[in-house]
């Protein structure tokens, strides 16, 4: 028993001494060595900090990879108007993917609104016919103002045509010719200026100028 106690005492002493030295060495090392040196280094973060989040501008984007093509233009406008839904009718009676009113449809030769709501091809043709008519009405303004900055927006042909779809060609003329002072906005607050900026730079060169543009199926 006496020999057993001596051995146990010896092992305890050895353990205390060894761990004490280890702790002292680690404490000394922690005071002299910085394991993560960042001073004078450029740090790159993949997560925004609080100020960057508050100041970041979030823009609406359209997910289809159609670029600035004419199809991209049509799909972007359709998505903005109705999220691309052909059968929708809003609380003000505007119909379909591009949210047409009855009076505009009559102007381009569409009189049966029931058939219109249930015919995607007819809606696409109506959009194209209305673009052609608006392009003819605004042809002089397109020539005069494209490339200029009006109301803080660089004017493009596609922006003009999109704005005319929103508020009619007369509202676009008022905006351009007043140099941004007269700004039409719809019942939801979307303005001619906003549409002109949002839909800028698309290729609408294939749209003809047609005074009496009608839907042809």
d(CA 30, CA 108): 80
d(CA 189, CA 92): 14
Q: Is residue 12 part of a domain?
A: no
**The pLDDT of residue 198:** 96
Write out the residue range of the structural domain in which residue 125 sits: 70-198
Calculate Rg over the CA atoms of the chain: 34
Q: Is residue 39 part of a domain?
A: no
**The pLDDT of residue 17:** 60
Q: Is residue 33 part of a domain?
A: no
Q: What is the pTM of this model?
A: 0.69
Domain count, the chain: 1
Q: Is residue 2 part of a domain?
A: no
**The pLDDT of residue 216:** 83
Q: Is residue 133 part of a domain?
A: yes
Q: Is residue 9 part of a domain?
A: no
Q: Taking the chain (217 residues) in consecutive chunks of 10 residues, what is each chunk's mean pLDDT?
A: 64 60 47 42 38 41 72 96 96 96 96 95 98 98 97 96 95 94 79 95 97 91
Burial of 96 (0-12, 13-18, 19+ CB in 10 A): buried
**The pLDDT of residue 6:** 61
CA distances from 81 to 70, 156, 166, 190 (A): 17, 20, 9, 10
Q: Is residue 108 part of a domain?
A: yes
Question: For residues 135 and 172, is the Cβ–Cβ distance under 8 A?
Answer: no
Q: Strand, helix or coil at 190?
A: coil
Q: Is residue 132 part of a domain?
A: yes
């Amino acid at each position: 028993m006496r020999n057993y106690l001596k051995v146990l005492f010896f092992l305890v002493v050895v353990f205390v001494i060894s761990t004490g030295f280890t702790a002292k060495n680690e404490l000394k090392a922690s005071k002299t060595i910085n394991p993560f040196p960042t001073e004078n280094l450029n740090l790159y973060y993949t997560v925004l900090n609080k100020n960057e989040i508050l100041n970041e501008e979030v823009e609406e984007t359209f997910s289809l990879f159609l670029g600035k093509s004419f199809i991209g233009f049509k799909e972007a406008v359709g998505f903005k108007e109705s999220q691309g839904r052909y059968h929708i009718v809003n609380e003000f009676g505007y119909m379909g993917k591009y949210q047409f009113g009855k009076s505009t449809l009559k102007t381009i030769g569409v009189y049966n609104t029931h058939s219109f709501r249930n015919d995607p091809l007819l809606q696409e043709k109506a959009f194209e016919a209305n673009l052609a008519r608006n392009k003819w009405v605004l042809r002089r303004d397109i020539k005069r103002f494209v490339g200029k900055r009006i109301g803080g927006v660089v004017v493009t042909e596609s922006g003009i045509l999109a704005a005319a779809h929103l508020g009619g060609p007369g509202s676009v003329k008022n905006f351009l010719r007043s140099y941004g002072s007269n700004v039409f906005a719809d019942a939801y607050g979307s303005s001619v200026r906003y549409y002109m900026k949002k839909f800028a730079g698309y290729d609408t060169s294939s749209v003809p100028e047609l005074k009496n543009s009608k839907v042809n199926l």
